[in-house]
């Protein structure tokens, strides 16, 4: 589990850490302690020391506390990339401590999903849902909508959004620092050829492929159309794309540690270098 220790920075490498790996709803239960119960949040530190955050599920709370401890009184500059605005991907944002520091800067990025970024985020903190209005937080906030297929350079990283098949739309992200590539593709359902081909194209040669794997193949039979994929489909994608490592992500709320361990074992039989994401998992590229 995350212990509040900051990732190394400015060492010329890309560092990744998982703060939330669960889909749909947090699951703070004893039987989920190994893999974790927080909803999606992944931190990437670029070789230049820039903090990139992918999704703002409940896992972003712990990340925010870590960033505050790391910098002491120094300003925090964070970039938050949102895949979409479903509740499990933004619900931790009101508890992201850097938002309340006057010297801090937080830039929110999102693909074009039919609603302005600022408008979508303001809604969950409006009365009577939260005691602090989003417009009143102390940090300087910037909002950017990104066009699919167009690279954005942040802290030496090139980030390219691409469309995913998900109800109301979602964006995946391809993050490249030098020769290292991470692909973040959560909240995605396979089966539509144009979207499958787009994901495959962006995932080719990825060092780390983080992929929606919410369901088992048996579960998917009764969840077709819900906007999520299976671990078996993820392993097939990793093989076809020539990815070096596959990370299963967005775990179903009903999958406890025993279920996740079984899924990981079965997935490794299909694609050896597979890990089911757990809170505190780190990688260095």
Tens of pLDDT along 133-178?
Answer: 998 999 999 999 998 889 999 989 999 999 999 999 999 999 999 9
Contact by Cβ (8 Å): 19, 62:
yes
Q: Residue 6 pLDDT > 90, yes or no?
A: no
Helix (H, G, I), strand (E, B) or coil at 19: strand
Mean pLDDT, rounded, for 116-123:
89
pLDDT of 22: 98
Alpha-carbon span 242 to 260, nearest angstrom? 24
- DSSP run (H or E) holding 172: strand 170-177
pLDDT of 116: 83
CA nearest to 185, candidates 116, 111, 114, 124:
111
pLDDT in tens, 227-259: 999 999 999 999 999 999 999 999 999 999 999
- Cα-Cα end-to-end distance for the chain: 21
Q: Residue 4 pLDDT > 60, yes or no?
A: no
How many residues can be counted in the chain? 285
Query: What domains does the chain contain, in order, with CATH numbers?
Result: 15-284 (3.60.15.10)
Helix (H, G, I), strand (E, B) or coil at 105: strand
Q: Residue 3 pLDDT > 70, yes or no?
A: no
Other Cβ atoms within 10 Å of 12 Cβ, number: 8
Mean pLDDT, rounded, for 60-82:
93
What does the CA dihedral 126, 170, 209, 71 come to, rounded to 10 degrees?
A: -20
Q: Max CA-CA distance within the chain?
A: 52
CA nearest to 70, candidates 40, 47, 97, 92:
97
pLDDT of 164: 97
Contact by Cβ (8 Å): 21, 257:
no
Q: Residue 103 pLDDT > 50, yes or no?
A: yes
Contact by Cβ (8 Å): 145, 82:
no
DSSP state of 230: B
pLDDT of 5: 55
Mean of the per-residue pLDDT values of the chain: 94
Of the listed ranges 106-115, 232-241, 257-266, the least confidently predicted one is: 106-115
How does residue 112 score in pLDDT terms, banded at 50, 70 and 90?
A: confident
Considering the entire predicted model, what is its pTM? 0.95
Tokens 């361990």, residue located: 261
């Amino acid at each position: 589990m995350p212990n509040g220790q900051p990732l190394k920075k400015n060492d010329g490498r890309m560092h990744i850490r998982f703060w939330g790996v669960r889909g749909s709803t947090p699951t703070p239960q004893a039987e989920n302690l190994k893999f974790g119960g927080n909803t999606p949040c992944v931190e990437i530190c670029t070789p230049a020391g820039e903090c990139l955050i992918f999704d703002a599920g409940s896992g972003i709370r712990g990340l925010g506390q870590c960033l505050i401890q790391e910098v002491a009184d120094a300003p925090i500059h964070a970039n938050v990339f949102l895949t979409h605005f479903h509740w499990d991907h933004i619900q931790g944002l009101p508890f992201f401590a850097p938002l309340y520091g006057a010297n801090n800067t937080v830039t929110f990025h999102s693909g074009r999903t039919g609603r302005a970024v600022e408008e979508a985020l303001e809604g969950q903190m409006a009365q009577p849902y939260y005691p602090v209005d989003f417009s009143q937080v102390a940090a300087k906030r910037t909002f950017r909508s990104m066009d699919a297929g167009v690279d954005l350079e942040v802290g030496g990283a090139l980030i390219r959004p691409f469309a995913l098949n998900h109800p109301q739309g979602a964006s995946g992200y391809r993050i490249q620092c030098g020769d290292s590539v991470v692909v973040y593709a959560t909240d995605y359902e396979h089966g539509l050829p144009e979207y499958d081909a787009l994901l495959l194209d962006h995932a080719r040669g990825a060092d780390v492929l983080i992929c929606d794997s919410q369901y088992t193949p048996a579960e998917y039979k009764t969840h077709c159309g819900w906007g999520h994929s299976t671990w078996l489909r993820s392993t097939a994608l990793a093989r076809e794309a020539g990815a070096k490592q596959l990370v299963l992500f967005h775990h179903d709320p009903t999958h406890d540690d025993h279920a996740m361990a079984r899924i990981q074992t079965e997935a490794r039989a299909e694609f050896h270098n597979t890990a089911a994401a757990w809170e505190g998992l780190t990688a260095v590229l």
